[in-house]
């Protein structure tokens, strides 16, 4: 069961939906030493949310989402390090635009295919992007990465500080905007159409839906969101490397989404939190074997909680389930 949208949904924000924001604000005040990790988590939540729109809602399988994340990261980085465009909002807008353009160009090409072919094509696009970034050393820094990214104070007022306070709040606001837009989309008629395409694209054709163009549209919007997440990563680190583009980033993100639960918005919140905190903890405790712990968590989730951690919570605590369908009134 996924997060309910559709024509019978109760779209009011439930109290439980405010919990992540309360937790994020609480972390800001109570865990100041973890703010850099917190900002990283917020960025990955936004990235995972963008993937959820594509994988969880539209049913597009992809291992190439890092191409958009990486392009956003490099766009912001190149603007800040090479072009003298230091305004963070401008950098972010340019990153979103660049990623959206790549999204529409590649989406238009590959979204006529399905399943393994589609998966391989997304992977191929990512690899092409990595290779381009690797070769274009004068612009991207090549294998050494792009350092010296200059980011001006946000709105001319809030400078990125050493302790990561500004970065954390900046990422939190960006995530909130992304969440708000994604939530509106999921509950909209367009979101209902995506659910229909995921469920049965043949039937969507038979009701007259331009399935291909709807997929291209959601793919493009999702790419733009991933591009923004990439820009945030560059701006908070003032550095961008090839790993932002690579297949590993896509795979890692998919693991995070599966861990949290795909197709339910908040799976994209839970997955990165669990994954990155586990990674942080395990890497400190078992520097050589920390991937074993991550792998074990994933195996357990896949075997015993197909809907991810939130799917498990749904099963265990029935009152947390969305009330969508109960509200259809017979006339």
Partner 1 sequence: MHSILETQKLCKSFGALTVADDIDFRLETGARHALIGPNGAGKTTFVNMLTGVLAPSSGRILLGGEDITAVRRAARVKRGLGRTFQINTLFRHLPALDNVALGVAERRGIAHRMWRSASSYAEVKNESMELLATLGLADEAAARVADLPYGKQRLVEIAIALGLKPKVLLLDEPAAGVPSAEADRILRTLEKLPSEIAILIIEHDMDLVFRFARRITVLVQGEVLVEGPPEEIARDKRVHDVYLGEQHHA
The string of DSSP codes covering 240-283 is E-GGGTSHHHHHHHHHHHHHH-TTSSTHHHHHHHHHHHHHHHHH
C-beta of 304: minimal distance to partner 1 in Å?
21
147 SS3 class: strand
Q: Residue 299 and residue 282: Cα distance in Å, rounded?
A: 17
Between 115 and 207, CB nearer to partner 1: 207
- Give residues 144-203 in contact with partner 1 (rule: CB under 8 A): 184-185, 187-193, 195-196, 199-200, 202-203
Q: Does 205 bind partner 1 (CB under 8 A)?
A: yes
Between 224 and 273, CB nearer to partner 1: 224
Structure tokens at 189: 């008629």
Residue 30 zone, left/alpha/beta (φ > 0; ψ -120 to 50; rest): alpha
Between 1 and 120, CB nearer to partner 1: 1
C-beta of 263: minimal distance to partner 1 in Å?
10
Binding mask 211-230 for partner 1 (x = CB under 8 A): x--x--x-------------
- Contact of 308 with 270, CB cutoff 8 Å: yes
- Contact of 8 with 329, CB cutoff 8 Å: no
Binding mask 5-44 for partner 1 (x = CB under 8 A): xxxxxxx---------------------------------
- Contact of 67 with 272, CB cutoff 8 Å: no
Q: Does 113 bind partner 1 (CB under 8 A)?
A: no
Q: Does 210 bind partner 1 (CB under 8 A)?
A: yes
Torsion of CA 63, 46, 77, 129, to 10 degrees: 10
- Contact of 41 with 268, CB cutoff 8 Å: no
Size of the site for partner 1 (CB under 8 A): 41
C-beta of 257: minimal distance to partner 1 in Å?
19
Q: Does 123 bind partner 1 (CB under 8 A)?
A: no
Residue 240: phi and psi, rounded to 5, are: -140, 135
User: Rule CB under 8 A: which residues touch partner 1?
Assistant: 1, 5-11, 184-185, 187-193, 195-196, 199-200, 202-211, 214, 217, 324-331
């Amino acid at each position: 069961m996924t997060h309910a949208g559709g024509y019978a949904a109760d779209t009011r924000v439930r109290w439980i939906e405010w919990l992540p924001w309360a937790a994020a604000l609480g972390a800001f005040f109570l865990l100041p030493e973890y703010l850099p990790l917190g900002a990283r988590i917020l960025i990955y939540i936004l990235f995972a949310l963008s993937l959820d729109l594509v994988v969880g809602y539209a049913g597009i399988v992809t291992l190439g989402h890092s191409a958009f994340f990486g392009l956003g990261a490099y766009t912001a980085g190149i603007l800040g390090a090479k072009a003298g465009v230091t305004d963070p909002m401008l950098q972010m807008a340019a990153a979103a635009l660049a990623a959206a353009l790549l999204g529409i160009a590649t989406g238009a090409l590959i979204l006529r295919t399905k399943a393994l072919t589609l998966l391989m094509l997304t992977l191929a696009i990512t690899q092409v992007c990595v290779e381009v970034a690797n070769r274009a050393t004068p612009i991207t820094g090549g294998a050494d990465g792009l350092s010296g990214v200059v980011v001006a104070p946000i709105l001319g007022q809030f400078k990125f500080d050493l302790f990561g306070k500004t970065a954390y709040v900046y990422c939190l606001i960006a995530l909130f905007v992304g969440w708000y837009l994604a939530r509106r989309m999921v509950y909209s008629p367009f979101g209902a159409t995506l659910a229909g395409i995921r469920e049965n694209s043949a039937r969507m054709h038979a009701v007259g839906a331009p399935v291909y163009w709807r997929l291209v549209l959601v793919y493009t919007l999702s790419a733009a969101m991933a591009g923004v997440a990439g820009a945030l990563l560059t701006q908070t680190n003032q550095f961008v490397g090839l790993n932002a583009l690579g297949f590993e980033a896509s795979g890692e993100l998919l693991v995070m989404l599966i861990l949290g639960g795909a197709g339910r918005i908040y799976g994209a919140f839970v997955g990165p939190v669990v994954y990155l905190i586990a990674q942080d903890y395990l890497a400190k405790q078992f520097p050589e074997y920390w991937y074993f712990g991550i792998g074990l968590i994933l195996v357990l989730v896949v075997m015993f909680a197909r809907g991810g951690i939130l799917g498990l919570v749904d099963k265990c605590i029935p009152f947390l389930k969305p009330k969508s369908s109960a509200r259809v009134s017979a006339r």
